[in-house]
Structure 1
Amino acid sequence: MRIGVNATFLQRPATGMGQHLFHLLKGLDAYDNENTYILLSPRFRHSSIGRFPQLSERFQNIEVVSALRRFGEHFESLWWEQVGIVRACQKENINLLHFPYFAAPLILPAPTVVTVHDVIPLVMPEYRARARSRMYSSLVSMTVGRADAIITVSEYSKRDIIRTLRIPEERIHVIGNAVDASYRPITDARVIDAVRERYGIGPKYILYFGGFDLRKNVSRVLEAYARLPATTRAEYQLVIAGRLHLLGHRLYPDPRPRIRELGLDDSVVVTGQIREQDKAPLYSAATVYLFPSLYEGFGLEVLEAMACGAAVITSNLSALPEVAGDAARYVDPYNVADTSQAIEELLEDADEREELGRRALARAQDFSWRRVAEQTLDVYKQLAR
């Protein structure tokens, strides 16, 4: 079987969907010895160079030049999803097409699988405030509804898909995420010290790492930290890690003005982009990892932290309890006082932190890219019958 995969997000390797696709392909290569995979990529006017994993000869890269390069990124993306990839599938004799993100062509060129990680634009109104966003959400909701099978990453997302897209339950397959084997407890003091020095981090810190759009709730992270006693803040820095993205966009507020307003300049470190090899040491050395997100289809950062043995405080909403299980302390993410109290109590209780770390490592073992690949291939086989 010739399986076509929309490989657009390999051009965005730092994103969650880019990481997911990268590791899914590696898993399929290791597990599937029968099928041929055609990785279909658009060459937009401002395309980044794709980060392709090292794969066997059964994986072929096909690049398609955009026909709308003069009209800008949004038109190019729409052309690729509705026209370019359809033509590429016909030319390459594709037997099955996988869109690994929330989109699909109106005219399906082959039996089609779509991975819907979440339906944020459909359940959070602020993410569809612009007319262009509403039009695109309406289009992809219709096209995805025509797909032969839907893969999603949690039971929570499955329920949201059924409710918002009206897709029958039997067409939806829940296949969880996983993290790379590099996410593991790092105990080498020299490695940890080098990472802390690189980003200006002290010996004790509370870590937030997980993006800066509104639903990530960073403003309340800062407010919860500000409520801690001054002596606690003097002992434990708050580290806000990750690249500040789309500064000035209403959905991506810059946290630094809020840090100044709260008088936290001396105790909050904003790191900027974290190198891939520095993530595991950063998670491992944190006294507490804090992630009170308002909405997650899965919550990959929580799984990363758990795989490193971190003591996790996270939200009691959306898919996060499903992912973390009994390996996290849960808070109401809208309640700053609740979050602040949880931080203070966990900082003061080394035994609870150690217990959560043990549970986190055990829980993280339930998620593997081999399992993701096996279950994804099962969906392909069902459509091929």
Structure 2
Amino acid sequence: MRVLVNGWFLQHPTTGTGQYVREILRHLPEVRPAWEIGVALPEGWEGSLPSGVAPVILPRPPLPHPFDKVWFEQVTVPRAAARWRADRLFVPYWAPPLRAPAPVVVTVHDLIPLLFPEYRSHPGVRLYTALALAATAGAAHVLTDSEASRRDILRRLGLPPGRVTAIPLGVDGRFNRRPDPVADARVWTRYDLPPAYVLYLGGFDRRKHIEGLLAVYRWARDAVGEAFPLVIAGRLPEGSRRLWVDPRPLARAWGLEEVVRYIGPVAEEDKPALYRHAAAFLYPSRYEGFGLPVLEAMACGTPVVASEIPALAELVGDAAYLVPPEDPRAMAGALIAVLVDAALARTLRERGPRRAAAFTWTACARRTAEILEGLGGASTPAGG
């Protein structure tokens, strides 16, 4: 079987979608070695591809951003699928084409633009979301990352249940509890880490609830702030805007400057050691389609204190301490308990890796392959 994959997000390897695309492409050839797998890439993108997949380099349209992306998704990739004689077109993010020469499988990681009005306040976003909605109705099958997201999709998109499948993501084997003296030394030096710390790594858009993150430390500061400062990792936004929250002004206003550290962007190879040496991982997000940082932290044996929201509850089982995201006082109490109760911390450190072991990229790729090949004579999107 010939499968063409839209590889647009390989240009953005640090995003969750970029990680998903790369891991799927790494593991699909392992679970289906007889398949011919092509990756549609815009001209000018330079990067290494996993073995077993072939680049299909396509011209960039002479359009400004963001119209170049829409043209690539709706025109360039479907034409390439026809020329490449693809049996399936796999779009690993929410941007299926309206018309395609082969059955389309699309991964809808979440419905953030539909569930949160602030994410669709821009007219361009509303138009893009409307296009995605129309095209998804004609897809042969929709994948998503969790049963929680599947319920959202069925409720909001009105698709038949048999056309929507939840396939959990995986965690790379490099996220583990095993000490790595070289990586450990590099991370301590590169990021100037304190002797003990609580870690946040996960972005700064509104749904991540950065205000709640700092509010937890307003309550926890006197008890544990000096011994366990909050380390915030990632590229900070330049000021708070409609969709982004800069934690620095709020930390200053709340008098948290002495207990909050900012270490900037973190290289992928440094993440396991950064997780591994954290006393706890704090994640107060209001909404997730899956929660990959939580899974990575658990795999590294880091005690997790996170939001009691559907996707995270489904992901962690009994391997993390979950608290409603709108109750920072209760979340602060949970964090303090994890930091001062050695038995509780030890329990979470043991349960986390066991739970994380159930989520592998091989299993994700295998289930994805089963959906792709199981479509049989499924119809193409309307007009295809």
TM-score (norm 1): 0.94
In structure 2, the residue matched to 1:215 is 207
Question: What is residue 36 of structure 2 aligned with on the other side?
Answer: 36
1:314 equivalent in structure 2: 306
**Are residues 1:66 and 2:60 paired?**
yes
- 1:154-233 alignment to 2 at 5 Å? 154-188=146-180, 191-230=183-222, 232-233=224-225
The Cα of 1:61 is off from its aligned counterpart by 0.4
User: Paired residue for 2:370, among 362, 371, 378?
Assistant: 378
1:217-276 per-position Cα deviation (integer Å, ceiling 9, x unaligned): 112111111222435211111000112257554211211111111222222111110011
Q: Distance in 2 between matches of 1:260 and 1:52?
A: 44
Q: Is the 8 A contact 2:4 2:86 kept in 1?
A: yes
Once the two structures are superposed, the pairs formed by residues 18-37 of structure 1 within 5 Å of their partners are 18-37=18-37
The partner residue of 1:98 within 90, 103, 107 is 90
2:290 is paired with a residue of what secondary structure? coil
> What SS does the aligned partner of 1:228 have?
helix
Q: Which residue is equivalent to 1:52?
A: 49
In 1, the alpha carbon distance for the partners of 2:46 and 2:207 equals: 29
> Partner amino acid for 2:58?
V
Indicate the SS of the match to 1:280. Answer: helix
**Which moved further from structure 2: 248-257 or 96-105?**
248-257
Q: How many angstroms apart in 2 are the aligned matches of 1:244 and 1:223?
A: 18
- Provide closer, same or farther for how the CA distance between residues 342 and 134 of structure 1 changes in structure 2, counting only shifts above 3 A: same
**Superposed displacement of residue 77, structure 1:** 0.8
Equivalent pair of 2:107/2:143 in contact (CA under 8 Å): yes
Moved more, 259-268 or 242-251: 242-251
Of residues 209, 232, 243, the one that matches 2:235 is 243
Letter in 2 for 1:238: L
Kept in 2, the 8 Å contact 1:313–1:330? The answer is: yes
Could you tell me which amino acid in structure 2 is paired with residue 65 of structure 1?
P
Q: Provide the rounded CA distance (Å) in 2 between the counterparts of 1:231 and 1:96.
A: 56
| Preserved CA contact (<8 Å) 1:121 1:128 | yes
Q: Look up the match of 1:15.
A: 15
SS of 1:313's partner is strand
Unmatched tracts of structure 2, length 5 or more: 378-384
Q: Is the 8 A contact 2:28 2:365 kept in 1?
A: yes
Structure 1: distance between partners of 2:331 and 2:119: 25
- Give unmatched runs, 5+ long, in structure 1: none
Q: Does 1:120 align with 2:117?
A: no
Is 2:346 aligned against 1:354? yes
Q: Once structures 1 and 2 are overlaid, which stretch shifts more, 264-273 or 360-369?
A: 264-273
CA distance 1:248–1:290, change in 2 (3 Å) = closer
- Percent sequence identity is 38
- Secondary structure at 1:4 match in 2: strand
CA distance in 2, matches of 1:257, 1:181: 37
1:152-200 CA-partner distances (Å, limit 9, x unpaired): 1100000000011111110011110011111111434564343123212
User: Deviation of residue 52 (structure 1)?
Assistant: 2.0
Q: Which residue identity lines up with residue 258 of structure 1 in the other structure?
A: L
Give SS of 2:173's match.
Answer: coil
SS at match of 1:61: strand
In the alignment, the residues of structure 2 paired with residue 202 and residue 326 of structure 1 have an alpha-carbon distance, to the nearest angstrom, of 29
Output one character per residue of 1:124-165: Cα deviation in whole Å (capped at 9) or x when no partner: 111111111111111101101110001111000000000111
Amino acid in structure 1 at the alignment position of 2:165: H
Structure 2 residue aligned with 1:327, among 308, 319, 325? 319
* Greater relative CO, 1 or 2 (CA 8 Å, sep 6+): 2
TM-score w.r.t. length of structure 2: 0.95
The question of 1:291 aligning with 2:283 is answered yes
Match of 1:2 in 2: 2
| Deviation (angstroms), 1:5 | 0.4
RMSD after superposition = 1.5
Contact 1:12 1:50 (8 Å CA) reproduced: no
The 2-side partners of 1:273 and 1:219 are apart by 20
Contact 1:13 1:51 in 2 (8 A): no
Match of 1:79 in 2: 71
Q: Give the AA of the match of 1:9.
A: F
Sort the Cα spacing of 1:190 and 1:267 in 2 relative to 1 into closer, same or farther, 3 A.
farther
Aligned to 2:336: 344
CA–CA separation in structure 2 for the residues paired with 1:325 and 1:254: 31
Letter of the 1:252 partner, please give it: W
Displacement of 1:50 = 3.8
Matches of 1:13 and 1:188 in 2, distance apart? 24
Q: How many residues align?
A: 377
